[in-house]
Amino acid sequence: MRSYSALLRSAALAAVLTLASTTFTPPAQASGEVNIYSYREPGLINPLLAQFTKETGIKTNVVFSTNGLIERLAAEGKNSPADVLLTNESGLLLQAVGAGVTQPVHSEVLAKEIPAALRDDKDQWFGLTRRARVVYASKDRVKQDAITYEELADPKWRGKICIRSGQHTYNVALVASMIAHHGEEATEKWLTGLRANLARRPAGGDREAVRDVQAGLCDIAIGNTYYMAAMLKNPDQKSWADAVRIVFPNAADRGTHVNVSGMAMTASAPNKENARRLMEFLASPEAQRIYAEANGEYPASDGVAASPLVQSWGPLKADPLPLTKIAALRKRASELIDRVQFDQGPNI
């Protein structure tokens, strides 16, 4: 049972988020509305929500925050007005399930549109878009056009790799996938070799790693594919993007590690039917296409084409490893990252 002080901290967090976010006070059973807590920025989802309202007449109300929404749901409990949680990463979906703030949605539409590997095996969450964890290689200094994750530990890359914190959820998921494929002992050896090849201590984000490739500090960076689209749209970062090309690891064998943005129905959704309708709409081929294009990502469904920009990076052969299997290994991956002191960088 949570302590009284912990409950007070959760309640305080909820209060802060209420002031910091766009707020709403919908009727508890407003049949014409659906209430959304979103980690995804409003500009990325508003066009979809407007189309949903146009097609169904159901009004959407959104609270956006970059953090704390799962804690807010937990603090609100049965009194939460939220119906649907939208996340920008699978780790948040797993956290939500672990916090007990989601419920299963058994839907033939969702089962048809979202591949089994990209949804929870108990229907607690569903992926909407995919992003690949790839190598951003210097156009000037890296001539090879194929690579594997395993090769990143090869001494030939000594002092040439930039990456964000190993404990960031994107990298924890990648390490978990390596454990799934090779076991913990081999992955520990791989992580140690990768750490030795770093040009600097892990820091910043994926874009900063690409920036450092452009600056000559390293030759390759590890990052998610959609950051290429983000950098190309930003006049201050376009030169970073222009200095690199995307190389998809393990394209010749098992495929490249992928993660997802996704959605879940909240445990106490007051507008449950409208929540289901919204989730089914977001999983539809047309909505996936629009959503993925707005974010520079890949649709969850293999039957929906990526945008021309995303296709220009080359074909994605995705590792078919189910995200639920990766989820089960995240804790071990995080512990392994600490064990090898990954975030201390190459000179420990």
One domain for residues 117 and 52: yes
One domain for residues 225 and 288: no
**Cα→Cα distances 20→23, 226, 254, 315, Å:** 9, 27, 44, 41
Q: How many residues does the chain have?
A: 348
Residue 124 is part of which domain span? 4-129+259-306
Which pair of tokens denotes residue 168? 């960031």
249 within domain boundaries:
yes
pLDDT by residue for the chain (348 residues), tens only, comes to 444 334 334 443 443 344 334 444 443 344 599 999 999 988 888 989 999 999 999 999 999 998 999 999 999 999 999 999 999 888 899 999 999 999 999 999 999 999 999 999 999 999 999 999 999 999 999 999 999 999 999 999 999 999 999 999 999 999 999 999 999 999 999 999 999 999 999 999 999 999 999 999 999 999 999 999 999 999 999 999 999 999 999 999 999 999 999 999 999 999 999 999 999 999 999 999 888 888 899 999 888 999 999 999 999 999 999 988 998 899 999 999 999 999 999 986
One domain for residues 108 and 118: yes
One domain for residues 39 and 124: yes
One domain for residues 38 and 71: yes
Determine contact, residues 342/195, Cβ cutoff 8 Å: yes
Which pair of tokens denotes residue 202? 């892990």
35 within domain boundaries:
yes
